[in-house]
Amino acid sequence: MDELIRQINAFGQPKVVVLGDFMLDRTIRGHAERLSPDAPVPVLNYAGAESSVGGAGHVATALGALGARAVCVGLIGPDEAGEEMARLLSQTGTDVSGLVETPTRPTTVKTRYVGLAQHRHAQHMLRVDNEVAAPATGALRTALEKAFRKALRGAAMAAVQDHNKGVVTDEGMPALIAAAAKAGVPVIVDPALIKDYRRYRGAMLLCPNRYEAALASGVSITDEASLARAAQAIIDAADAKAVLITLDKEGAYVYPAGGPGRRIAHPRPRHVFDVSGAGDEVLAMVGLAMAEGADVESAAALANVAGGLEVEQVGFVPITRGQVLDELDGMTGTRRGKVLDRETLSLLLERRRQRGQRTVFTNGCFDLLHLGHVKYLQQARAAGSCLVVAINSDASVRRLKGAGRPIIAQDERAQMLACLECVDYVTIFDEDTPEALLRRLRPDVLAKGGTTPVIVGREIVEAYGGKVVSLVEVKGLSTTQIIQRIMDTHNDSPPAPAPGRRTRRGRK
């Protein structure tokens, strides 16, 4: 996991050519509260409409969100839909200079009608497609090849998203892959739902889902052995270097030519809301990673994370590089736990700082954790993106509080704090003050409770431009008061029978 984090932190902004079927997705929403008097069909009372890019446009926008520079190559018609799609892509920073306008076919538009019953319960009622899916031939195919060759200049990778709508063809695609190879640009493909993968001859990597892989290979995928057979059959048909088969909630399977294959499981259970766009996100993440020199397995592992984040969204929502890093950091934290040494913590905070996140630091003994502590920590967490709690070691507490403290040992105190949702990291320090930690970690905010008259470390934090905040005091709640209440209660109670002492009736 640390190696994946190191790699993605080192990624630049490579140019990636996106070739495929670009579409415009339109959604018309309305209230469906009655049936038509003319026919037994719902009447949709118009409430609004929205448009977004679809098809290969998902890959382009996903690449942009991940930090790559996407260049689109595909077909649009001389119509309002084509203009709208080009505008939406341009707004994300995508280069649309490779979109070829053709008078012989319209821009592909998929219009979905969504009805709301009782102003809720959205229901997809109907989809209307306006498209011409015939293979591009003659002058149109020549224009596409010219746009593709031009886009290859300075590119590090070409990503092909094939929906079998005429841009990617059996006759034309091998020539485009050969042109990319001549230009030194590898090609990766998210294939169409077709049986014959010879269309993609010469591609470096193919990324089908389980169903597509089974159809193309003729192998019923049920276990590890059948995955390997399906992958090898695809490699043989397409003369590819590797195959990445996505497996929904089971993760992914990566297989280089000749094997062996390797399963990549999701790092945590996924709450799947919508699988649409997951394959596009996988293709984009693989494209970025391999453009930046990652090997197939590392690219597949990153793609598995990005695809997993995508299925937790409703509709297609491009995943950012920062989200992938946050997920990897969380996976690292799950493996190590929240309680970290200062060296590891320093590295994690630096990664967060590079992504613009604001770190809050607080410290204390936190002996006998109580509601006052929790409210205080929640206040501190609200001041930034990440809360670090530094606790005094047992030896440090004894020096500060006396021989009878702490009541709870340092490891137990640290683990209890780590269980709080508002706490991101916990570290233990043996010094009497946190000054050395502050110099090492350089938090953006130093937070202390309102009862603290002098905030130790203020000069250190303010010297490098950090902020010091004094939190609102939670009155009536302190460890000292709780200990005193326990002692008072114990002193007022009759002494308990000594262990093994018998009562008058001779019973224990």
DSSP state of 429: E
CA distance 337 to 425: 8
At residue 506, the pLDDT reads: 43
Among residues 435, 437, 444, which one has the least CA distance to residue 462? 444
The residue ranges of DSSP E strands in 156-226, in sequence order, are 157-161, 187-190, 205-206
Taking each helix axis from N to C end, the angle separating 296-310 and 321-336, rounded to the nearest 10 degrees, works out to 100
pLDDT, mean of residues 412-421: 91
User: How do residues 426-457 score in pLDDT, each as one tens digit?
Assistant: 999 999 999 999 999 999 999 987 666 788 99
The active-site residue, picked from 95, 280, 329, 444, is: 280
The Cα–Cα gap between 445 and 508 comes to 58
Half-sphere exposure for 31 (CA within 13 Å, toward CB): 7
Tell me: pLDDT of 499 over 70. no
Give the pLDDT confidence score for residue 4 in this predicted structure.
Answer: 85
Residue 217 pLDDT class (50, 70, 90 cuts): very high
Q: pTM higher than 0.85, yes or no?
A: no
* Alpha-helical regions (H) of 292-320: 296-310
Give the mean pLDDT of 469-480.
Answer: 69
pLDDT at 317: 84
pLDDT above 70 (res 363): yes
Provide the pLDDT for residue 278: 83
Q: Which two tokens stand for residue 5?
A: 């984090």
CA distance 427 to 24: 51
The C-alpha torsion from 413 through 419 and 423 to 427, rounded to 10°, is 40
Distance of alpha carbon 209 from the chain centroid = 19
Interior CA angle at 413 toward 408 and 419, to 5°? 140
Q: Which domains does the chain have, with CATH numbers?
A: 2-320 (3.40.1190.20), 337-491 (3.40.50.620)
DSSP line for 349-390: HHHHHHTT--EEEEEE---S--HHHHHHHHHHHTTSSEEEEE
Tell me, yes or no, if 444 is annotated catalytic: no
Query: How confident is the model at residue 500, as a pLDDT?
Result: 46
